[in-house]
Structure 1
Amino acid sequence: MIILNENDFEKVRIGLEDRVKILPTFVLSVLNQYICGTVYADSSTSRTVLIGTESGVFFVIGNEDNHHFNDCLFDLYSQRKKKNLRFTLFSSNENWDCIIKDRFKNNVKQMSRFSFNYESKKQMADKVLAKEYSIRRIDEELLVNSTEFNEDYYKEYWGTVSNFRKNGFGYCILHNGKVVSECTSIFSSHDYSEMDIATHKEYRGQGLASIIATAFINHCLENHIIPRWDCDIGNKSSIKLARNLGFVNPVQYSIFI
């Protein structure tokens, strides 16, 4: 297993272009160099690649039969675990599911998730909020007052708050100045942005998540970005909201934690 130079990231992206629909957004974030990350390959031909973020989220794709690469993948997992670092592995297909389960044994737990498509190009009508509520784009001042998407959140996924402000975006609903519902890009790339939504428990059940998600989606469409929605297959409320917002044709995939 070798570590590719950032100059080779674009070549890897082009090589995966025909499979872009199955690539997690964080993979494209790394390859577009929106966030810092590492690309490991079996050789200079990159028949098998492992793409990871600094926070410890990884995706593997390519030839499953390279035993040396698979051993190195497990070694990387072991090294991170010894240091109490995160290791979340996204699988690209059922063959990789089998390889990971066979090589990692009971060291990891398999979870199933849905990745939804968004095919509409028409902006949705903004929904009216009561006068004591307002919508604002997330900035440094607002994220400091967030309980969910705070400074630590953006440092984990974006490296720095300033990098999020440069390459990502998000919106929040304020109630009398208090952040009560948010929708932000957990990862973004040149063409995609994956949504993350949270509503304060005291304000749930009022449709605020739908309102703030609409603001996020409309921003995407205005800027020629495709919004993405991923969630656990058992998260019924998230699935329902995704479909109500226009996300369709969920594809199931596995992650290992």
Structure 2
Amino acid sequence: MIILNRTEFDYVKMLLNKIKVTCPTFAYSILDGYIQGTVYADSRFPKTVMFGTNSGIYFVVGEINNLDFNNFLYELYRQRKNKKLRFTLFSSSEKWNCAIKNQLKDEIKQLRRFSFKYDIDKELDDKKLLCSDYSVEKINAEIIKNSLEFNKEYYKEYWGSISNFIENGFGYCILHDGKVISECSSIFSSQQFAEIDIVTHKDYRGQGLASIIAKEFIDYCLKNRIVPRWDCDVSNKPSIKLAGILGFANPEEYSIFV
């Protein structure tokens, strides 16, 4: 097992294109230098690759028969779990699902998720008008300071720092009398993709605010030639419903292990 440097990332991108697998946005975030992370591989011209964020989110892809590489993966999982550190592993195929389950058995839990594709041709309803005491703002450092959900700790976990998010990410929020009540932010983004993370304050739910702010986010993506992405658990019916309203369709199921 080796760790690749940025000069070798183009070959990894070629590998991802060759095997035509749906790759989570955070992997592209690492490859494009939007966030810090590690790319592990079986060789300098890899057949098996694993991406790891500094916060403990991983994605493994490629051939499953590299025993030394696989043993490193499983040992890394056990080491992080023993230290009570996060280890969330995204799997790229059913073969990897079986390999992970066969090796780690009852040590690990499998969760099923959907990854939706954005239908650029779908016509969305016009944005609803907000009352005069509501306003839409692009997320900045001041808004982050006053957010209850997407706060400093959130951006530190996924982006490393607020300043890195401001430089490489984006998002929008709705304010009510200056209070942050609904937010749609890029939990990860890259040159090509932006993955949506969205939340509305519990006292303001049921007003359609999530769809309003998500459309702002999607509009920004389309104007900047970025593909918006929507992922959620297969059991999250409200999220699946909202995804359909916003133009996300044809979900592909994948597994994560925690």
TM, length-normalised to structure 1: 0.97
TM-superposition CA deviations, 1:146-192 (whole Å, max 9, x none): 11100100000000111100110000000011000000000000010
Q: Tell me how far apart the structure 2 counterparts of residues 121 and 223 of structure 1 sit (CA, whole Å).
A: 17
Say whether the 8 Å CA contact 1:50–1:61 is kept in structure 2.
yes
Matches within 5 A, 1:96-175: 96-120=96-120, 125-175=126-176
Matches within 5 A, 1:1-257: 1-19=1-19, 22-120=22-120, 125-257=126-258
Amino acid at match of 1:165: I
Tell me the secondary structure at the aligned position of residue 198 of structure 2.
strand
Offset of residue 8 of structure 1: 1.1
Tell me the secondary structure at the aligned position of residue 85 of structure 2.
coil
Tell me the secondary structure at the aligned position of residue 14 of structure 2.
helix
Amino acid at match of 2:56: G
Offset of residue 20 of structure 1: 5.8
Say whether the 8 Å CA contact 1:186–1:196 is kept in structure 2.
yes
Offset of residue 6 of structure 1: 2.1
Offset of residue 14 of structure 1: 2.2
Q: Tell me how far apart the structure 2 counterparts of residues 159 and 189 of structure 1 sit (CA, whole Å).
A: 15
Offset of residue 79 of structure 1: 1.7
Offset of residue 19 of structure 1: 4.9
Q: Tell me how far apart the structure 2 counterparts of residues 157 and 66 of structure 1 sit (CA, whole Å).
A: 29
Amino acid at match of 2:219: N
Q: Which runs of 5+ in 1 are unaligned?
A: none
Q: Tell me how far apart the structure 1 counterparts of residues 18 and 162 of structure 2 sit (CA, whole Å).
A: 32
Say whether the 8 Å CA contact 2:122–2:247 is kept in structure 1.
no
Q: Tell me how far apart the structure 1 counterparts of residues 20 and 164 of structure 2 sit (CA, whole Å).
A: 24
Amino acid at match of 1:34: Y
TM-superposition CA deviations, 1:186-232 (whole Å, max 9, x none): 00000100000000000000000000000000000011101000000
Q: Tell me how far apart the structure 1 counterparts of residues 26 and 15 of structure 2 sit (CA, whole Å).
A: 17
Say whether the 8 Å CA contact 1:10–1:32 is kept in structure 2.
no
Task: Say if 1:50 and 1:21 are closer, same or farther in 2 by CA, change over 3 A.
Answer: closer
Task: Say if 1:111 and 1:208 are closer, same or farther in 2 by CA, change over 3 A.
Answer: same
Q: Tell me how far apart the structure 1 counterparts of residues 127 and 18 of structure 2 sit (CA, whole Å).
A: 35
Q: Tell me how far apart the structure 1 counterparts of residues 3 and 136 of structure 2 sit (CA, whole Å).
A: 43
Task: Say if 1:19 and 1:133 are closer, same or farther in 2 by CA, change over 3 A.
Answer: farther
Offset of residue 15 of structure 1: 1.9
Q: Tell me how far apart the structure 2 counterparts of residues 19 and 121 of structure 1 sit (CA, whole Å).
A: 27
Offset of residue 66 of structure 1: 1.4
Say whether the 8 Å CA contact 2:39–2:49 is kept in structure 1.
yes
Q: Which runs of 5+ in 2 are unaligned?
A: none
Give the aligned length.
Answer: 257
Moved runs in structure 1, 4+ residues, more than 6 A? none
Amino acid at match of 1:77: Y
Identity of aligned residues (%): 58
Amino acid at match of 2:156: K
Offset of residue 67 of structure 1: 1.5
Offset of residue 21 of structure 1: 5.7
Tell me the secondary structure at the aligned position of residue 16 of structure 1.
helix
Task: Please provide the CA RMSD for this pair.
Answer: 1.3
Q: Tell me how far apart the structure 2 counterparts of residues 161 and 19 of structure 1 sit (CA, whole Å).
A: 34
Offset of residue 7 of structure 1: 1.6
Offset of residue 18 of structure 1: 4.1
TM-superposition CA deviations, 1:60-80 (whole Å, max 9, x none): 011111111111101111221
